[in-house]
Amino acid sequence: MVGKSGGGGGAAEEDGAAAVRRWVEAGGGRLVMDGGLATELEANGADLNDPLWSAKCLLSSSHLIRKVHLDYLEAGANIIITASYQATIQGFESKGFSKEQSEDLLAKSVEIAREAHDMFLKEHSDRPIQHPILVAASIGSYGAYLADGSEYSGDYGEAGTLEFLKDFHKRRLEVLAEAGPDLIAFETIPNKLEAQAYVELLDECNISIPAWFSFNSKDGVHIVSGDSLIECATIANGCSKVGAVGINCTPPRFIHGLILSIRKVTDKPILIYPNSGERYDAEKKEWVESTGVSDGDFVSYVNEWCKDGAVLIGGCCRTTPNTIKAISRSLNQRHSSLHLPVA
């Protein structure tokens, strides 16, 4: 079996959705995810102008990654996502690293998150944390590796075959699972084919820790390739190792309808971590400012998403620890109001 869970006894042996539900229940019915990693790395002085994007910091600025993880934990996040979204063996090899060195860098992303996890718990040892604190190992799409914007279109041209995608992701998945995260996060999945590749790899590699599948949408109905979200969610639903299904890197205004679509085909836990609503310019490789929503507007959606059925909520690109702090506060207030004593 590939993978070892640090999130509490038994997660490696149980159905993925059951493991996630157990964590959600331990968190009081909701778990808060972290926010944009690259956004905060840049705010802390990192230069991410590189095809590796945030994974570039694995080479020389691991202290910044650790700091950002800690900032999100202090803001109220229950789940931190590793700096491996754009980290691939192929990408590191293109920089001159050997296969072994490239695999070590992938594993390092989980080690850094674990260090932040342990530091946070140690710093709060005087008042033990009651809710789960989890590490999710990020796996970005093939398009994220290409760094050409195709993660926002799902158009891979001739490379878009099932076997090619499985071969591309296989060893990366094994290395990250062996590094000891609590979950595997398949993020910003842009097309149905890549979702199918992930499902087959989870089974073929005998991955023993829960995974989540998160898609992105530009219109609130389809994922970015034009494939049906319902068909994609159905693929995820058919895999017992997938513990949660949801949406990331999508404008907040689309989330309500997307949750309802997902709920038509699965009863797995639903996760939601939208971007700020700003538009990404793939040619300039930058976010277009003044097209998003404020933290206050972003958080105003949270109650609606909870009512719709989301149980894991956070932020993606261009969201910050302040966003996550506001989400955590909103969820805590909602939890308190739902458990007020009856007069």
Using CA atoms, how far residue 307 sits from 22, 28, 30, 42, 260, in Å, is 20, 15, 12, 34, 11
Structure-block tokens of residue 224 = 């970015």
pLDDT at site 12: 39
Give the end-to-end CA distance of the chain in Å, rounded to a whole number.
53
Cβ–Cβ < 8 Å for 142, 85: no
pLDDT at site 202: 98
Cβ–Cβ < 8 Å for 86, 140: yes
Q: Is 170 helix (H, G, I), strand (E, B) or coil?
A: helix
At 299, give phi and psi (nearest 5°).
-70, -25
> What count of other Cβ atoms lies within 10 Å of the Cβ of residue 18?
16
Cβ–Cβ < 8 Å for 192, 161: no
Structure-block tokens of residue 130 = 């009651």
Cβ–Cβ < 8 Å for 169, 201: yes
Using CA atoms, how far residue 7 sits from 27, 114, 183, 198, in Å, is 12, 11, 9, 22
Q: CA 253, CA 301: separation in Å to the nearest integer? A: 8
How buried is residue 288: exposed, middle or buried, by Cβ count under 10 Å (0-12/13-18/19+)?
Answer: exposed
At 44, give phi and psi (nearest 5°).
-95, 10
DSSP alpha helix (H) spans, the chain: 16-26, 37-43, 57-60, 62-75, 89-93, 99-123, 142-146, 162-178, 192-204, 229-237, 255-263, 295-300, 302-308, 321-338
Q: CA 286, CA 280: separation in Å to the nearest integer? A: 6
Cβ–Cβ < 8 Å for 145, 86: yes
**Single-letter amino acid, residue 232:** C
Exposed e or buried b per residue across 98-135, where buried means at least 16 C-beta atoms within 10 angstroms of its C-beta: eeeebbbbbbbbbbbbbebbeebeeeeeeeeeeebbbb
In this structure, what is the dihedral angle of CA atoms 103, 104, 105, 107, given to the nearest 10 degrees? 90
Cβ–Cβ < 8 Å for 179, 146: no
pLDDT at site 166: 98
Structure-block tokens of residue 328 = 């955590």
pLDDT at site 14: 72
**pLDDT tens per residue across all 343 residues of the chain:** 566 444 443 443 479 999 999 999 999 999 999 999 998 999 999 988 888 888 999 998 999 999 999 999 999 999 999 999 999 999 999 999 999 999 999 999 999 999 999 999 999 998 878 899 999 999 999 999 998 889 989 999 988 899 999 999 999 999 999 999 999 999 999 999 999 999 999 999 999 999 999 999 989 999 999 999 999 999 999 999 999 999 999 999 999 999 999 999 999 999 999 987 656 555 555 555 645 566 667 788 999 999 999 999 999 988 999 999 999 999 988 655 554 444 4
Q: CA 109, CA 136: separation in Å to the nearest integer? A: 10
pLDDT at site 9: 39
pLDDT at site 276: 78
pLDDT at site 338: 54
* Total-model pTM: 0.91
